[in-house]
């Protein structure tokens, strides 16, 4: 029976005055050190940006 993949999510919110290189640096650090991947981004009317990151939840099954 194939196990269904489960993810945990983290939501980051950036203010409207955050620059693209700053946002890119934060996302790169989360991806490299926390093994997060980009799931979704939203740019809102006021200019703030919300980013959803996800990573797999790895469940270890006991073998003995």
- Per-residue pLDDT of 4-28, as tens digits, reads 889 999 999 999 999 999 999 999 9
Q: Are 15 and 48 in contact (CB under 8 A)?
A: yes
- What's the pTM value of the predicted model, to 2 decimals? 0.81
Residue 62 lies in a domain: no
Residue 2 lies in a domain: no
Alpha helices in 1-64 (DSSP H): 20-34
DSSP helix/strand/coil, 41: strand
Range of the domain at 29: 7-56
- Structural domain count of the chain: 1
């Amino acid at each position: 029976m194939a196990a269904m993949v489960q993810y945990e999510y983290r939501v980051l919110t950036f203010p409207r005055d955050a620059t693209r290189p700053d946002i890119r640096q934060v996302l790169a650090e989360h991806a490299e050190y926390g093994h997060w991947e980009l799931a979704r981004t939203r740019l809102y009317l006021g200019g703030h940006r919300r980013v959803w990151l996800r990573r797999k939840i790895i469940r270890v099954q006991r073998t003995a």
